[in-house]
């Protein structure tokens, strides 16, 4: 962790808790891919730039989650550069209360605003306005959040954001936060096409064998769906499902974990409902879900 690694002729990765990508042009200008979680991450990025006498051409945010956009405001203010994101994601960076509100379901309680739900508001331009070098491509990766993207550099290195999660993380808890499970399944199939290319997930080691990690992520989604279906042989509320899963995976009993687990459960129920695998009923003021 915290290593600056060369991945191609002009492509680099700064390995942090959230990996940050660098593509350096012949003019020593850098396209920075994501900004880390906070001001400390941003300062580390600036140290690398100063060491190599590089300047920021633009910041590309793959999506609005704090561990990707948390350092954006500091970098923009420190360098005068412009940050870019898709039209949907930029709304969340400019109005950061929206992200925890989406996860929580209402204006977020201060107990929920923590390290990973605390992006400093930052002005962001639409990615469609960004001029890119020849061979530079933006890749749509919907599923994990509203309109997440990945980046392919001219060196044929693929930065895949949170489209895949590390196997170690999924082994401890197979359910991660997914905005849209159906789109996530489709994205995982798309990612398998990059097998044999150097791929950089945001929370895993760079790999030439991305298909196996994508398959492991799909299997984890399948596993959670199977567990939920096994618990729905009789009508069960979301509250009861959250309790069962938190106990099953021995998750910490904190406000943050409860909300994230609850949101994850609802995401899986939507996917199962849209695939006609579960049904619901409202009785005496409570909603119950049951396997079809």
Residues facing 291 on adjacent strands: 278
Q: Contact at 8 Å (CB) between 45 and 20?
A: yes
Long-range contacts of 20-26 (CB under 8 A, 24+ apart): 20/45, 21/151, 21/153, 21/157, 21/159, 21/200, 22/48, 23/133, 23/136, 23/153, 23/154, 23/155, 24/52, 24/54, 25/57, 25/133
Residues facing 162 on adjacent strands: none
User: What mean pLDDT value characterizes the chain?
Assistant: 95
Structure-block tokens of residue 30:
């850098």
Structure-block tokens of residue 129:
């306005």
- Phi and psi at 86, nearest 5°, equal -65, 160
> Residue 117's pLDDT is what?
82
Residue 6: which residues within 8 A CB-CB, separation 6 or more?
12
> Residue 118's pLDDT is what?
83
Which residue, 69, 82, 85, 10, is CA-closest to 35? 69
In the chain, how long is the greatest CA-to-CA distance? 67
**CA separation for the pair 2, 91 (Å, rounded):** 30
- In order of their start, the domains of the chain are 3-162 (3.60.15.10), 224-291 (1.10.10.10)
Tens of pLDDT, residues 186-239: 999 999 999 999 999 999 999 999 999 999 999 999 999 999 999 999 999 999
Tens of pLDDT, residues 72-116: 999 999 999 999 999 999 999 999 999 989 998 998 888 887 767
Tens of pLDDT, residues 56-72: 999 999 999 999 999 99
Structure-block tokens of residue 90:
């930029």
């Amino acid at each position: 962790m915290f290593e600056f690694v060369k991945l191609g002729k002009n492509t680099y990765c700064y390995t942090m808790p959230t990996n940050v990508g660098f593509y350096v042009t012949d003019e020593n200008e850098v396209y920075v891919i994501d900004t880390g979680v906070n001001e400390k991450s941003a300062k580390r990025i600036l140290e690398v730039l100063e060491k190599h006498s590089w300047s920021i051409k633009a910041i590309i945010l793959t999506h609005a989650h704090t561990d990707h956009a948390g350092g954006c405001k500091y970098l923009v203010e420190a360098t005068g550069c412009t940050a870019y994101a898709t039209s949907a994601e930029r709304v969340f960076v400019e109005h950061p209360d929206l992200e925890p509100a989406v996860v929580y379901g209402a204006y977020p309680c201060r107990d929920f605003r923590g390290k990973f739900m605390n992006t400093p508001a930052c002005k962001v331009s639409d990615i469609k306005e960004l001029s890119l070098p020849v061979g530079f491509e933006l890749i749509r990766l919907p599923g994990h959040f509203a309109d997440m993207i990945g980046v392919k550099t001219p060196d044929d290195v693929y930065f895949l954001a949170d489209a895949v999660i590390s196997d170690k993380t999924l082994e401890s808890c197979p359910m991660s936060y997914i905005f849209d499970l159906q789109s996530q399944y489709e994205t995982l199939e798309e990612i398998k096409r990059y097998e044999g290319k150097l791929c950089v997930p945001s929370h895993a080691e760079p790999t030439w064998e991305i298909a196996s990690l994508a398959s492991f992520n799909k299997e984890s989604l399948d596993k959670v769906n199977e567990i939920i279906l096994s618990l729905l042989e009789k009508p069960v509320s979301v509250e009861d499902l959250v309790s069962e899963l938190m106990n099953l995976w021995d998750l910490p009993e904190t406000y943050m974990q409860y909300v994230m687990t609850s949101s994850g459960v609802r995401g899986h129920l939507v996917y199962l409902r849209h695939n006609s695998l579960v049904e619901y009923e409202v009785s005496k003021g409570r909603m119950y879900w049951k396997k079809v």
